[in-house]
Structure 1
Amino acid sequence: MKIKPIGKRVLVKTINLEEKTSTGIILIQNNEEKNYRIGEIISLSTDSEVNSLFSINDKVIFSKKSGVKINDSSKEQILLNLEEIFGIIEE
């Protein structure tokens, strides 16, 4: 299913956080343990404010309770309002 957000919304796919130990072992942190989630923007509405703030592939942080969750096969997607996004993660 392909979703194109309208209004002041973005569509993100949720991503798990990785943490590397000193020995090189990668630990995947389950986002359910935290009160926030991280997502990668996969689709933007045509709203000018949304497009001036975000780009496809931006990683954003938002509340665990935000948005409308959409399960599409193996990946979870969340439709977020602009006001629900706390910030962009810069790497």
Structure 2
Amino acid sequence: MNIRPIGQRVLVEIITLEEKTSTGIILIQNNEEKNYRIGQIISLSNDSEIIEQFKVNDKIIFSKKSGIKISNSSFEKTLLELDEILGVIEN
């Protein structure tokens, strides 16, 4: 399914957070425990304000209750309004 956001919206794919212990064991964090989510932008609308602030593959943080969730067995995506995005994660 291809979704192209319109208006002041972005489409993000949810990122599952992983942490490693000092011995190398991977701990998968449950996103449901946190009040925020992290996602990677996979599609942008043509809105000039969106294009100025974001680009595809940016990692963003947003409230767990934000957006419209779209999912099936193979993916989990969220369609977000501009004002629902809390920040861009910079490395």
Common fold, TM-score beyond 0.5? yes
Are 2:48 and 1:48 equivalent residues in the alignment? yes
* Uncovered stretches (5+) of structure 1, i.e. residues with no partner: none
Task: Indicate the structure with greater strand content.
Answer: 1
Deviates more, 1:21-30 or 1:58-67: 21-30
Once the two structures are superposed, residues 13-50 of structure 1 have per-residue CA deviations (whole angstroms, 9 ceiling, x without a partner) of 10111111111111110111100000000000000110
Are 2:37 and 1:37 equivalent residues in the alignment? yes
TM-score by length of structure 1 reads 0.96
Letter in 2 for 1:63: S
Superposition RMSD on alpha carbons, in Å? 0.8
- Three-state SS of the structure 2 residue aligned to 1:79 is strand
Matched residue pairs, number? 91
- Flag as ranges the 4+ runs of structure 1 deviating above 2 A: none
